[in-house]
Structure 1
Amino acid sequence: MRRSLATAFLIAASTISASAGERGEPQYFVKAWLQMPDRSFEQTSGWCDGEDDCFVPIGEHVIQLRDMSASSYTFSFWNDPSQQDACCVSHTGFPTLRLWSGRPRVVPLYYTPRVSGDPGQILFGNLVIAVEYLG
């Protein structure tokens, strides 16, 4: 499944247009594809300058990238970055991950229901993300 998601992402990413939305000169190109459990999806692309936190909207959510370098970056996924807690966590239970740049990465995202008696983590979706350093 991960291979088919990555393949679909690469095909879709080639058709997405990007727009600069950050201060400074773009140094990183971000492409992302969010596959939901019901097979619906959202896709996005954008530019980051690498100097500050970078927020890339995807559907009704936001990808936050920080500590960007040519080889890696820190990733988190939010409903709204002004909220105190991230929307989703990785399989490790942490809201942030350090990922390698370059090729697409598949990140399964989980959320924790706020209703008593629900299971600990429920699959939110799989995010396929690629961050390319342009320097």
Structure 2
Amino acid sequence: MAERVKIDVGSAHSLSEEKVAVLRGRNLVTGLPDSVEVSSIEIRGALAESTRTLVDLVKEAIDETPPEIIADLMESGVCLAGGVSQLQGLSERMQGEINMECWVAEDPLTCVARGAGYILDDLDNLARFLVGLERGSTQHN
């Protein structure tokens, strides 16, 4: 249910029309069934720290990107992928923070795994495009 609320009501940027969701479950104080309304503003607040971390990581990645690739990014934009890319307003928020066009990948939930598989299938030729991890490491530099 939390994932559904995040997708339906959550946002990374203010919405033109804020939304409300009704959550149903057990009241932990009374032990009885209960419901509560949560707004997109409240969900946005709950996601604020995670959203800020994501924006900061993208800024850090851009800072580590060679100038010739930055020129390409400025022309083509930044593709957002994975589950978090489905958060309403994330592309607009990111675009405002990094001053580059941002867009959501087609089929964002599987494109990361498919891309990783593509890299692994031809690692010898594509390893030069990998950044941020030393070969064999699981820790970001």
**TM-score normalised by the shorter chain: which range applies?**
under 0.3
The structure with the larger Rg is 2
| TM-score (norm: length of structure 2) | 0.25
